Amino acid sequence: MIISKTPYRLSLFGGGTDYPAWYEKNPSKIISASMAYYCYISLKQLPPYFDYVNRVIYSKIESVSDISQIEHPSVRECLKYYGIPNGISISHDGDLPARSGIGSSSSFTVGLINAITRYLGKHYNPYALAKDAIIIEQQKIGESVGVQDQIAAAYGGVNLISLSDKKITVEPLDVSFDYLDTMEEHIMLGFSGIDRLSDVHAKQQVDNIRSGKSEEYLKAIVSIAEEANTLFYNAAPLKYIGELLDEQWKYKRQLTDDVTNDYIDRIYKKAMNAGAYGGKLMGAGGGGFFMFLAPPDVHERIKLAIPEINVWVPFKFDFEGSTIIME
């Protein structure tokens, strides 16, 4: 049995500019991190005496006679892409819920690719894992996804992602571990209570990119990401980072009509009034996890101010990316 362990994504700055429809015409920068919460994929060969030939276990159980019959799009397309023959069992587990703005679909795909390629006797580096995951999700499945989720899942750490035309460059953010330790203490993650279908929100964002409707807002988001990179380089007080998050949120909420709503706006306003420096919804918007940057001594005040959020999870960065933990 092979088991992969792959982190989820925390998008900090530049989200929404990592769609090919945007960055192939407009150079972009994204600051993205990986969280110490994980997607686990196990893969093994099935013995020949089962009634079914392939088994996939996630929120449902699929037992099918041929790979082409698998309903889970990432599993089906990954197995086809790598030419895996029938006789496979794949199982998924995760530390946090899917459809919550943490890039769980891409973490699944990256982790599955890591397990499959190791099953084939290959050792893929982070670049190869991210590259193939992008191909699977964008070209084989046909989803409206960007590229930062796959990169965060494969690489781990806190990275500056530079995008232009079809070139993708990934560099570790130039900050000290002491600075990141302090940042960890300031980050709050709270679940909004709203599940979201990321592909629906992403498709609307891509449509607005192609029509030019969101151009003004996306250019502002790119500019904010560049400014944030300068602040990180200079180890600026986290208050200034939070203020940029707040400024970015004001532009992001304009990207589509469904990024936010009265409920989400009310929660965000309560957090700011209780002492948060700034924050955002994770992912494309519409629900999922909130991320707030706030001094540790006001965390409890913020939690009390937002009874709508009853699930808060401690935050830590991941610096390993997708790994194989058993083979």
- What is the per-residue pLDDT for 205? 86
Q: How many residues does the chain have?
A: 327
pLDDT band, residue 201 (cuts 50/70/90): low
Q: Taking CA 152 as the corner, what is the angle to CA 148 and CA 157, rounded to the nearest 5 degrees? A: 135
Over residues 203-218, mean pLDDT: 90
Q: How far is it, in rounded angstroms, from Cα 135 to Cα 128?
A: 11
Over residues 182-207, mean pLDDT: 83
Dihedral sign (CA 272, 314, 223, 205): negative
Indicate if the pLDDT at residue 195 is higher than 60.
Answer: yes
Q: How far is it, in rounded angstroms, from Cα 19 to Cα 277?
A: 28
Q: How far is it, in rounded angstroms, from Cα 311 to Cα 313?
A: 7
Q: How far is it, in rounded angstroms, from Cα 169 to Cα 14?
A: 14
pLDDT band, residue 98 (cuts 50/70/90): confident
Q: How far is it, in rounded angstroms, from Cα 53 to Cα 231?
A: 54
Q: Number of helices (H) and strands (E) in the chain: give both, helices first.
A: 11, 12
> Which SS3 state, helix, strand or coil, does residue 75 take?
helix
Q: How far is it, in rounded angstroms, from Cα 4 to Cα 213?
A: 40
Indicate if the pLDDT at residue 38 is higher than 80.
Answer: yes
Q: In this predicted model, what pLDDT tens digit does every residue of 156-170 receive, in sequence order?
A: 999 999 999 878 999
- Identify the CATH assignment for 177-313 out of 3.40.250.10, 3.40.50.300, 3.30.930.10, 3.30.70.890: 3.30.70.890
- Residue ranges of the domains in the chain? 2-174, 177-313
- What is the per-residue pLDDT for 87? 93
| Residue type present at position 187 | I
Contact 117, 109 (CB under 8 A): no
Distance of CA 81 to the CA centre of its chain: 23
Q: What is the DSSP pairing of strand 88-94 with strand 54-57?
A: parallel
Closest CA to 77 of 105, 46, 100, 104: 105
Q: In this predicted model, what pLDDT tens digit does every residue of 99-114 receive, in sequence order?
A: 888 999 999 999 999 9
- What is the per-residue pLDDT for 202? 78
For the ranges 2-11, 52-61, 266-275, which has the lowest average pLDDT?
Answer: 52-61
- Say whether 177-313 and 2-174 share the same fold: no
Q: How far is it, in rounded angstroms, from Cα 111 to Cα 119?
A: 12
Indicate if the pLDDT at residue 150 is higher than 70.
Answer: yes
Indicate if the pLDDT at residue 52 is higher than 80.
Answer: no
Tokens 């050792």 map to which residue?
123
pLDDT band, residue 206 (cuts 50/70/90): confident
Over residues 31-60, mean pLDDT: 92
pTM listed for this prediction: 0.95
Q: How far is it, in rounded angstroms, from Cα 237 to Cα 255?
A: 28
Instruction: Kindly state the tokens that stand for 164.
Output: 């232009």
Q: What is the DSSP pairing of strand 167-172 with strand 187-191?
A: unpaired
User: Would you state the CATH architecture of domain 2-174?
Assistant: 2-Layer Sandwich (3.30)
Q: Kindly give, in sequence order, each residue whose CB lies less than 8 Å from that of residue 132, ignoring residues fewer than 6 positions away.
A: 81, 113, 124
Q: Kindly give, in sequence order, each residue whose CB lies less than 8 Å from that of residue 63, ignoring residues fewer than 6 positions away.
A: 51, 52, 54, 55
Tokens 């602040």 map to which residue?
231
pLDDT band, residue 229 (cuts 50/70/90): very high
Indicate if the pLDDT at residue 199 is higher than 70.
Answer: no
Q: Kindly give, in sequence order, each residue whose CB lies less than 8 Å from that of residue 124, ignoring residues fewer than 6 positions away.
A: 113, 114, 117, 132
Going along the chain, which residue ranges are E strands? 2-13, 28-45, 54-57, 61-64, 88-94, 158-164, 167-172, 187-191, 278-281, 289-293, 312-313, 323-326
In the chain, % of residues over pLDDT 70: 98
Q: Kindly give, in sequence order, each residue whose CB lies less than 8 Å from that of residue 219, ignoring residues fewer than 6 positions away.
A: 26
Q: Comparing 259 with 69, which gets the higher pLDDT?
A: 69
Going along 110-267, which residue ranges are E strands? 158-164, 167-172, 187-191
Computed over every residue of the chain, the mean pLDDT equals 94
